Structures are given as structure tokens and as C-alpha cells.
Amino acid sequence: MKLLMESLVLLCKQSEERIRFGRRLSFFHGEMSTGKSTIAELIDYCLGGSLQKTPAIQSELVGVQLQATVDDTALLIERTPNTTTSIEVSWERDGDTGRENLPLAAGEVPVVGDEIYNYSDFLLRTLGMPVLKVRKRKGDPESALQRLSFRDFYKFCYLDQPDLDSSFFLLDQPIRQEKSKDVLRYVLGFHSDRLNELQAELSETRQEQRTMREAAKQLDEFLHRYGFASKATIEAEIDKLNDEEEKLDREIENQGSDDLPASTVAEEDQTLIAALSDAIASKTAAIADIEQRLKEQESLIAEFLAMKFKIARSSTASELLKGAAFHACPACGTEVSRKSDGAHCVLCKSDLAEAPGGFESDSAVMERDLSDRIDDLRRSVHRLKKSHDRQNEELGVLTTKRADAQRRVDYARRQIESEYMKRARRLESRRGEIRERRRLLVRIMGMPGEVEAKMKEADALSRGSASLNGTSRPNRAASRRDGRMSIRWKRTSMRCFVPSTFLKSRRTTRYS
């Protein structure tokens, strides 16, 4: 197929310039620095090239559009100077339209369909060309394959103005020499689709073989480094770990009864704590009894003091009313009978024998007796308080001794329990390590067999690559024998170069 360019549209800041092309030839002429070579550069720019940003382009150009056709497909290619990594492409084919922002560099996933990864792939597929892959290094049959891009073919169709005097096929430039040869081989028919498929399949097979051998080698080195060269070695290691785990299980099960003694403290400390506890209980009871007696005796002292005040007030009242004669009751005014039998009160008729001041008595003797009894009680209270203080001091001493003994008991228990816990943690930690290592060994048990399987697969792939190489050899020979395109190329070149005296001015170089 052919790519026919119809027009080039320059979108400027103040105008829109449209350049139409002829179907066979477009000839641009004019004075110097009027933009003739810029037209070719803009076409190259729309086809994935770079653009030299002259002052005019920097100040005026906003965007550029290239309209082209490929058979029955119409293309509109748009690009702006500010966008350097992608190109906008719109197409119309048989009533179907599409638009996509295609990157210049191929990514990991296709952008259109299953085979188009970038702008170059889109152009090649639109032109009906297959995926072309060639060896990166021609002298190395193990070299990886790389893709021929649209720009590799385009270099044979576009002569950059600064390079018009250099080699047309770029065979003098080592960087582009190999790709130029690959393009020529395809154009001259030395590179068939079947040969391309065989070479791609051969490259994939060899790459898979190298990957498999490298993986098997790394696995084998890993297993030998840690002593797991065979499945039998790993099984023996697992059996050894199982025996050690059973032994640890028995130790963990028996340590509760064997390692922790029934009595974790000294016998004298236990006896001392029991005796001190009994003494503290006895002292506490004694102190409670003393406090109860103190409370009773202080209550009696208060009652005796109240009685003493009552006797004093009664004696005073009796003295004041001793000679008084009542004619009427001072409470209700009833006339009081003067008749009395001498045994009852004239005023209230109470029995004088039972009245505290009914008869004359020696109140001083009663008061002195009460005072003596109060003094006796106060001396008893003083003795009880001294006994209470002494008992509290003894209780404090006993409590301190018991606390000291309890601290010794707790310290001894912690020491024993600490040793017990340390050993228990050590046993549990070791059992966890054994189980983790056993799980690892179970996972890698199949690795030695996997290494052998990968090596066998690599050998099978080696035989397959040899078969593919043998299959591709006749195709390469057939491509070399088919020299029709080469003959046509030679005739056309001689017809063009002889009139232009090209052969007379340059040294002829043969390229194979």
C-alpha cells in the first residue's frame, strides 16, 4: 500500500495556512528562508520526527495537521509543538471512524487492538505491513529480537537537507547500519513472513530455555548452599526435627510437676508467718477489748459527773426551799392542804423516803463518794490507755515482722517462678523454631524434583530450537535464491545513477 499525502494545514496564531500536494509530485520553489524546507520538516514532524523550533515556529505556530490516505482509509494526523510524547490520529474506513492519542514510545499494553502499542505500529498496520522482528546483533544467534519501526523505513523515503551529500542508505553510519540492512532485506524480498515467524518463535524458545536453565541453576545453588541437595536429605532433616519436637513436648508437659517444688519458701519463714499471724490476731482482739473497756469507763465517769452536778443542784434547792410554806400549788394554783402525815410531801404528795432531797442528808458525803469513784475510774482509764498504746506498738512490731517475712517469701517465689518461666519460654521458642523450619522444609521438599523437571524442559526446548533452526534454514536459502526484487532494484538504480554521473563521481561500494 501507499501513503498519499493530500494537504498540510498550519494552525498559526493569526491565520490558517493550507498547503495542498499533488498526487504524484509537489515542487516548491522560492527565495531563501521562505519556509520551503520547513514544509518537509513539518511532514516529517507529523510522521513522528522532531521539529527544529525556529523563531518563526516558536512565535507563530500553534499546531499542524496532515491529511493523508492509505487505500480506502482517510487519516488526519495532528500535532502541537508543546506535545512531544504523543500524536493525535483520527481515521475513517468503510464508514467507521476512530480517534486515539498514540504515544511515540511503545508501552507495556496495546493502545489499539492487540498489536498496536505506539504510533509507529499504527502506521505500519495501516499500510498492511506485518510485525517485523530482527536480531539486535547479527553475529550472535542468541541475540534478542527487536522490532523494525516505521521510521526505519521512512529514512529511505525522506532525505534530510543537511544529509543530501551522505550515503543514501545510511550504511556508513554504524548506529543505523544494521537496521538499514534489515529494511533493505525486507524490501528486496529476502525477509519473508514465514521466516519472520520462525525467527520470532526461535527467539522466544531460546529465551524461555535460557530463563528455565537460569531458574534451575539458581534453585540448585540455593539448595546446595543450605544442604538440601536432594529430597532424601530434606526428609532426613524433617525426621530429625520431629524427634526433637517430641522430646520438647515431653519436657514441656513434665516441667509443671517436676521443675516447680511443692513448697516454694523456707519452712522457718512459713512457720514464722503463721505464728506472727496468730499473735497479730490476739493483739488485735486485746486492743479491741481494751477499747471497749475504755469506752465503758469513760461513760461511767460522765454519768458520775452528771450525778454529782444533780446532787449539787438538789442540795442548793433544798436549802433555798427548806423554810418555805406553800399555800397553793405553784403550777396550777390549787390550795394545798396543810395536813400531812409527815411521810409524804405537803406539795406533791411524794414519798419522802424515796425522794433524793426529801430528808435531810449529808450531801457532802455523797459528793465525796462520787468524786472518789470518778478518780478511781480516771486512774483505771489512764492504765487502760497506757496498755492500749503498748498493745498498738507491739501490734506494729508484729505487723512489720510479718511484712518482712512475707517479702522474703514473695522474693523466693518470684525467683523460682522466674526460672520456671524462663525455661518454659525457652522450650516454647525452640518448639516454634522447629515447627517453622519444618514448614519451610515441607515447602521446599519438591524443589530438587522441580530443578530436574526444569532441566528436562530446557533440554526439550533446546531440541525444539534446533528443530526450528533447521526449519528456518531452507526459508533463508529460498529468500536468498529469490533475487527478482534485487535484479529490479539494480536495474532501476543503474538507470537513475548513470545519467547523473553518480558512478563516475563516487567510488562504487558493494553491499551484501
Q: Answer whether 16's CB lies under 8 Å from 10's CB.
A: yes
Distances 163 to 23, 61, 119, 158, 501 between C-alpha atoms, Å: 26, 26, 25, 10, 19
Residue 347, pLDDT score: 62
Distance of CA 168 to the CA centre of its chain: 58
DSSP string, 198-211: HHHHHHHHHHHHHH
pLDDT digits (tens, 9 = 90+) for 336-382: 665 556 666 666 766 666 665 544 455 667 777 878 888 888 888 88
Query: What's the one-letter identity of residue 185?
Result: R
Whether the predicted model's global pTM rises above the 0.95 cut: no
* Long-range interactions of 387-392: CB distance < 8 A, separation 24+: 387/290, 388/287, 388/290, 388/291, 388/294, 391/283, 391/286, 391/287, 391/290, 392/287
pLDDT digits (tens, 9 = 90+) for 40-90: 889 888 988 888 888 888 888 899 999 999 888 899 999 998 888 899 999
Between CA 60 and CA 54 the distance in angstroms is 10
Q: Residue 189 — very low, low, confident or very high, per pLDDT cuts 50/70/90? A: low
Pairing of β 96-103 and β 145-147: unpaired
pLDDT digits (tens, 9 = 90+) for 261-300: 544 455 677 788 888 888 888 889 988 998 898 888 888 8
Determine phi and psi for 62, rounding to 5 degrees. -105, -40
Question: What's the chain's average pLDDT?
Answer: 76
Q: Residue 506 — very low, low, confident or very high, per pLDDT cuts 50/70/90? A: very low
Between CA 289 and CA 479 the distance in angstroms is 127
- Mean pLDDT is highest, among 100-109, 405-414, 458-467, for 100-109
DSSP string, 318-340: HHHHTT---SB-TTT-PBPP---
pLDDT digits (tens, 9 = 90+) for 15-44: 898 999 988 888 888 787 777 888 888 988
**For residue 398, pLDDT beyond 60:** yes
**For residue 248, pLDDT beyond 80:** yes
Q: Answer whether 405's CB lies under 8 Å from 276's CB.
A: yes
